[in-house]
Copies of this chain bind each other. A is one copy, B any other.
Amino acid sequence: MAKAINNSEYVDGILSSNITYVSRAITLVESTKEEHQEAAQEIINSVIQHSGNSFRLGITGVPGVGKSTFIESFGMEVIERGHKLAVLAIDPSSQLSKGSILGDKTRMEKLSVHPRAFIRPSPSSGSLGGVSRKTKESMIICEAAGYDYIFVETVGVGQSETAVHEVTDFFLLLILAGAGDELQGIKRGIMEMADGLVITKADGSNTEKAKLARAEYARAMHLFPPTDSQWIPEVLTCSSTENKGIREVYDMIEKYKRHTTLNNYFQTKRNRQSRQWLHHTIHDTLITNFYSKQIVRDEIQRIEKQMELKPVNPYQVVRDLFKKLN
């Protein structure tokens, strides 16, 4: 980013689907530098009216579930069905693992070199709210560049799933067959957010186990209350390496699209997400501004220490704190 930023150049580049500009615009979005943020916001302002025309798919599953190979395999299916695909990542913890989230890009041999695919590992740091905002903004840039199918990938072990859920149309949970009862560390509550479950690695000696797991999870999903969309989450099995069951995942999502378009849930959800995004932005701004003050941080440290020694009335201490600050 040594060159000066020429915004109209970026906007033209994005709208003409020039991958270099898409990529560099996302770098601006992800940057924490004030000037880059300014530029990023200007670009978003200019392209946002071209956004929204994609299907946004959240994909989650713990490391080892075969996410990269699933994305390779399912991504190619999506492209063969005529779409342009962008793959983004959301993962606040990746400040530690620096970009490991999308696995090895080399494991997406076909997808990573396909002219209609764009893969973007985002080793973002910062708060979850910030990461979620960056993902949404990257999504807007991709949509403006004509990508009409977006994968938002996350590791199913943290709280980022709620964030993914808030920016996507469909939430897909990948599960490893026969990995025991403990759901491989998937956080409580994630299973209930899923619009679809896919048991991965259903091949070879694993095939039978996968079938059993499918039946078991289908039974468990059925126990859950219905979703707001009146959609009953489906449970499928697939083998990414043998390319089995991949088409069925696509078909399930198409079925979901039809279902939620017919009952208008699709647009209702999108509108709700927009309002949520606005209010989250307001809340984040208020909270960030507040905690950014040194005096606030000092006071809170003092209060938390006090709290460990004896019970305190938060309402009272917070009132005192606000009085002190005004």
Chain A residues within 8 Å of B, Cβ to Cβ: 41, 44-45, 48-49, 51-52, 133, 137, 140, 181-189, 191-193, 216-217, 219-220, 222-227, 271, 274-275, 277-278, 280-283, 285-287, 290, 300, 303-304, 307-308, 310-319, 321-322
Contact = CB atoms under 8 A, between A and B. Distances in A.
Q: How many monomers of this protein are in the complex?
A: 2
Contacts of A278: 300, 303-304, 307, 314, 317-318
A263 to B, nearest CB: 18
A316 to B, nearest CB: 5
Given A304-B275, A310-B49, A286 B282 contact: no
Nearest to A322: B285
A274 B308 CA distance: 9
Contact of A318 (B223, B281, B304): B281
Contacts of A310: 49
Contacts of A290: 282, 286
Contacts of A44: 313, 315-316
A48 B317 CA distance: 13
Main secondary structure of the interface of A (DSSP, over half): helix
Nearest to A291: B282
B223 A183 contact: yes
6 contacts: A41-B316, A44-B313, A188-B225, A189-B193, A217-B223, A281-B314
Given A189-B189, A189-B192, A313-B45, A282 B224 contact: no
Given A290-B282, A308-B271, A45 B316 contact: yes
A284 to B, nearest CB: 9
A45 B271 CA distance: 44
A121 B193 CA distance: 32
B313 A41 contact: yes
Which of A51, A183, A224 has the most C-beta atoms of chain B within 10 angstroms of its own C-beta? Answer: A224
Contacts of A41: 313, 315-316, 319
